Structure 1
Amino acid sequence: MLRDFAWRAFEQTGSIESYMFFKEIEEFKKARNETKMAEEEAAPSNS
């Protein structure tokens, strides 16, 4: 949702700050997903 807002703000204004904010959100999301995947791989199996 915030990602979409940042992108729309960039589209409408051409503001580099809006674009940089959008990219920051993308990087945070990517890092969070990588962390989640690593935690799932490291989780002990119940088998």
Structure 2
Amino acid sequence: MTATMNADTGRQRTRAALFLAVAMAATVGSALGFQHIGGYIP
């Protein structure tokens, strides 16, 4: 099997990676904000 990588595939993967990075940062940021604002102590 050969995987061909054209510009469109690379652009799509870059967008997916950026979206996942932003989503993970938002998840972690909201959890830290909840702990900080709510005073949650595990």
Structure with bigger RCO (C-alpha 8 Å, 6+ apart): 1
Structure 1 stretches of 4+ moved >3 Å: none
Q: Which runs of 5+ in 1 are unaligned?
A: 1-10
Q: Give the aligned length.
A: 37
Per the normalisation by structure 2, the TM-score is 0.72
More helix by share: 1
Q: Which runs of 5+ in 2 are unaligned?
A: none
Q: Which has the larger radius of gyration?
A: 2
Question: RMSD between aligned alpha carbons?
Answer: 2.0
